[in-house]
Amino acid sequence: MIEVSNVVKEFDGFRALDGTTLHVGKGDIYGLVGPNGAGKSTIIRHITGVYKQDAGTVLIDGMPVFENPAVKEKFAYIPDELFYFMQADTMEMKRFYQGIYPKFDEKLFEKMRKFFPNIDTKRSIRRLSKGMQKQVAFWLAICCRPEILILDEPVDGLDPVMRRQIWSIIMADVSEHETTVFVSSHNLRELEDVCDHVGIMHQGKVILERSLSELQGSVCKIQTAFQAEMPKLPDGFEVLHMSNTGRVYTLIVKGNPAEAKKQIERLNPMLVDVLPLTLEEIFIYELGGVDYAVKDILF
């Protein structure tokens, strides 16, 4: 659905994007994570056709985005800095969006009022708080019925209750309409519960791109204890990290979790348990040795 290949962008000789490549499939919830200055907003501005790349391609459904209104109708974009007509109120903005998005869902707009009880839709947006302005942006974006929602740091500035609310609205939309979501954040934890694909961006490149199921099936944490010393582990059993407290050993193991558990069980342990790894832990071990600087910044 979104295909970004080898995109290069320079600003006054500074290479903000240095061969960025990423792929987002239909219905994916793709999280792009990276430290400040990695290039997340810049690549998003290419995907939304705000910028034109110096080299490489940016395609949505096989079509170039830049200056292509047919493609722009497919997505709604919430940038990190909102650019409303600040004098307008929410109802006026709604009419503006209705003019641009033929599929704008008026009924849904009314239905969603209950989620945003603090928004006075007749008050100029300039006079709403920053968090409230973001809420309005979501409300309108979802009602545009886009095929793709592109969100740059979407919940920054929202309180924890509203964050949960916004995510649950997005998730409901995804499951009902198979909306594709492309979301950037510098906070991996924020994306952990919602994304099914994650890309890590660093210095203008996507250095790692994985599906969550692929990640979760490829590394696991095993806790085990033996009567005496830890026996020799089978050949080919790839331990990425091992620590122990007394007789209880915690192993981070590469490979299928169920298979790894079976292999440990053959060694007659007193106990063996497979524990879930957080996305953060998975990346730490996945990236092990690749680039410590990235790990230090991201986690």
Ligand X SMILES: Nc1ncnc2c1ncn2[C@@H]1O[C@H](COP(=O)(O)OP(=O)(O)OP(=O)(O)O)[C@@H](O)[C@H]1O
Q: How far is the CB of 39 from ligand X (least distance, A)?
A: 4
Residue 11 as a binder of ligand X (CB under 6 A): the answer is: yes
Separation CA 223–CA 55 (nearest Å) = 49
Distances (CA, A) of 173 to 132, 147, 189, 238: 21, 10, 21, 40
Choices 40-48, 192-200, 205-213, 260-268; region in contact with ligand X by CB under 6 A: 40-48
Out of 37, 56, 79, 255, the residue judged to bind ligand X by CB under 6 A: 37
Separation CA 22–CA 275 (nearest Å) = 30
Separation CA 50–CA 66 (nearest Å) = 7
Residue 39 as a binder of ligand X (CB under 6 A): the answer is: yes
Separation CA 197–CA 191 (nearest Å) = 10
Out of 40, 94, 134, 197, the residue judged to bind ligand X by CB under 6 A: 40
Choices 29-37, 83-91, 98-106, 107-115; region in contact with ligand X by CB under 6 A: 29-37
Residue 46 as a binder of ligand X (CB under 6 A): the answer is: no
Site for ligand X in 178-207 (CB under 6 A): 186
Q: How far is the CB of 187 from ligand X (least distance, A)?
A: 10
CB within 8 A of 67, min separation 6: which ones? 49
7 within 8 A of 66, measured Cβ to Cβ:
no
170 within 8 A of 159, measured Cβ to Cβ:
no
Choices 8-16, 158-166, 191-199, 214-222; region in contact with ligand X by CB under 6 A: 8-16
Q: How far is the CB of 288 from ligand X (least distance, A)?
A: 23
Nearer to ligand X, 38 or 143 (CB): 38
Residue 31 as a binder of ligand X (CB under 6 A): the answer is: no
Q: How far is the CB of 142 from ligand X (least distance, A)?
A: 23
Residue 48 as a binder of ligand X (CB under 6 A): the answer is: no
Instruction: Pick the closest to residue 9 from 81, 58, 65 (CA basis).
Output: 58
What is the DSSP-derived secondary structure letter of residue 61?
T
Nearer to ligand X, 38 or 148 (CB): 38
Half-sphere exposure of 122 (CA within 13 A, CB side): 0
Positions touching ligand X (CB under 6 A) are 11, 14, 16, 34, 36-42, 186
